[in-house]
Amino acid sequence: MFFRTPKSWLMPVVSQLFLSRSRLLKLRNSAEKKRQQAKRPHVVHFFHQVDDPYSQLLSTVLPHLQSRYNISLETHLVDVPEDSAVPERAMLQTYSLLDAQRLAHRFQLDWQFVQPSEIQNSDAYSASHALRKKWGHYLGATLYYEGEWYWGIDRLHHLENRLKDLGLCQSTDSGPLFLISQFAPCRVAPQGTSIDFFFSFRSPYSALSAARIFHWASQSGVSIKLRYVLPMVMRGLPVPAEKRRYISLDAAREAHVQGVPFGRLNDPVGKPTERGLALMPFAEMQNLAEDYVMSFMKGVWSEGLDAGLDAHLKIIAERAGLNWTAAKDILRSPSNETHWRAIAEENKQALFALGLWGVPSFRYENTSAWGQDRFWVIEDALNSQFDADPLASP
């Protein structure tokens, strides 16, 4: 039994205000008034890491952005991120190239990664790093416009919507440059088709995926294999303040676009996540794991429930169909804790074997992808089976 702390009381209220759409729009309006008062032009700042595939890819499409909107662009050269922001640097370097190539192919961009010659300009790097940190970010391939950050080409649609609202669009084409729809109903998959879903109860992006993937799977005749892992911070990996802030704000923007309730959260780090995972084997035995995952994610990410409290975890468990009396006994079972921790570790090792380390991640046969905004990679791989085998679906 755990008692509710002042932090547990306040966090849902504060987060609901901090992550609300109305607050974001007010901040944008305030930033525009300050820009006008300072008589600044509309400048988009590009933080360019020259040896980063995402930065190189973004740099090739920025001329399209400039031609479409009445803006100017200022480029700042930055060095590699700090170790604390990139816990698995070697895997990131390998995966980022593959991911950028997938994006280029998807959007039919003529782009190839070029390994740059060594550039030595420590003063420029130092100044750009300080500016980026002052404004609140930690990565390359990022754009900053009047108080708000946008990472990579697949977040340009948020910036475009903002620029359109300011009346800066100079094109008759009103559609976003790079936006991919996901989780659309597709042809029924062959019997036995399964997708691995690696997730963490503390990952807001996992929560966004959980809100959509199960319905999509039901429509498509696909089974989802749930592969839960402990959050990075509970695996001893640091998460800098800039990273936490950007992820929460970005997840709120994405949730708004996708129509997923989000923002009244109660961070489940620590005991709440452990208690949540402790009930996963029980939920799976009852064939209620998907319902339980959806209930947990909804509870902690949009309803402000504290899974560290019996009263709140009871709400989460019972609406998923679990018997709370039995669930309480399981929470007290040392053997069950050993069991779920072993499964979480096994899932983590399976994730690493795919060359991935973050969640949500997905795997279908020989194709894997990381990120709630990369499920289209799995959909493409699945659809390619239909194209290769016309008898694969009705």
Same fold, 41-165 and 194-388: yes
84 in Cβ contact with 240 (< 8 Å): yes
- How far, in Å, CA of 223 to CA of 287, rounded? 12
φ, ψ for residue 144 (rounded to 5)?
A: -125, 130
- pTM higher than the cut 0.85: yes
CATH superfamily of 194-388: Glutaredoxin (3.40.30.10)
Structural domain boundaries in the chain:
41-165, 194-388
- How far, in Å, CA of 231 to CA of 105, rounded? 32
- How far, in Å, CA of 134 to CA of 78, rounded? 14
Residue 391 is predicted with a pLDDT of 42
What are the Cα distances from residue 303, in Å, to 202, 215, 364?
14, 21, 32
For residue 322 the two structure tokens come to: 């679990």
User: Of 48, 14, 21, whose CA–CA distance to 249 is shortest?
Assistant: 21
φ, ψ for residue 73 (rounded to 5)?
A: -125, 135
Q: What is the CATH number of domain 41-165?
A: 3.40.30.10
Tens digit of pLDDT per residue, the chain (394 long)?
556 788 888 999 999 999 999 999 999 999 999 999 999 999 999 999 999 999 999 999 999 999 999 999 999 999 999 888 888 889 999 999 999 999 999 999 999 999 887 666 677 789 999 999 999 999 999 999 999 999 999 999 999 999 999 999 998 887 899 988 899 877 778 888 999 999 999 999 999 999 999 999 999 999 999 999 999 877 777 678 899 999 999 999 999 999 999 999 999 999 999 999 999 999 999 999 999 999 999 999 999 999 999 999 999 999 999 999 999 999 999 999 999 999 999 999 999 999 999 999 999 999 999 999 999 999 999 988 766 544 443 3
For residue 378 the two structure tokens come to: 């799995």
